[in-house]
Amino acid sequence: MYDRGQPATVVTYSSLLDAMFKNQQLDKALMLFNQMKECGIDPDIRTNNILIDGLCKSGRFENAKEIFQDLSIKGCSPNVRTYNIMIHGLCKEGLFEEALALLLEMEHNGCLPDAVTFETVIRALFEKDENDMAEKLLREMVARGLLN
């Protein structure tokens, strides 16, 4: 593309990153992400979501956590998808207290959790026999009209 005078955009890089992570080409994805930044293309929230999700799924949760924490420093506000990715990663790591804290932080930052947010935490709590907390969140979900 570059040789033909069509420089890549953030959308192009995001699409390639997504494909690389889905094909478990972690090293290539990370090199491409670095190349993107070297070319002066700032990742948007979609790009960061792809990166965070890819890192979580490839077992690099701490790296994903770092990127998530740096978002606000870089002026890129997390959206509901970003929070859902991190909450899922925390639950997968068994860090339920942190997942619940992030759920509260999410709301405090003006990002309303959706059904996916609640279902992720509830499912993980039930799997770990934390039934009382799961049922409490389920009632909260119903109260918010996210479940019929």
Tell me the residue range of the domain where 94 lies. 79-148
Instruction: Give the residue from 77, 94, 119 where a domain finishes.
Output: 77
Q: Please say whether the beta carbons of 133 and 125 come within 8 A.
A: yes
Average pLDDT, the chain: 92
Is residue 121 located within the same domain as residue 62? Answer: no
Helix (H) or strand (E) holding 138: helix 131-143
Same-domain check for residues 1 and 66: yes
Instruction: Kindly state whether residues 7 and 71 are assigned to the same domain.
Output: yes
Q: Are residues 57 and 124 located together in one domain of the fold?
A: no
Query: In terms of Cα–Cα distance, which of 93, 116, 118, 115 is closest to 103?
Result: 118
Last residue of a domain, one of 34, 53, 77: 77
Indicate if 3 and 41 belong to the same structural domain.
yes
With cut-offs at 50, 70 and 90, classify the pLDDT of residue 6: confident
CA 57, 106, 128 angle in degrees (round to 5)? 55
Given 45, 77, 109, which residue is the final one in a domain? Answer: 77
Q: Which helix (H) or strand (E) holds 81?
A: helix 80-92
Name the pLDDT band for 2 (thresholds 50, 70, 90).
low
Element (H, E) at 114: none
Q: Based on the domain organization, do 57 and 91 belong to the same domain?
A: no
pLDDT over 80 (residue 147): no
The number of distinct structural domains making up the chain is: 2
Whole-structure pTM value: 0.90
Average pLDDT over residues 46-65: 96
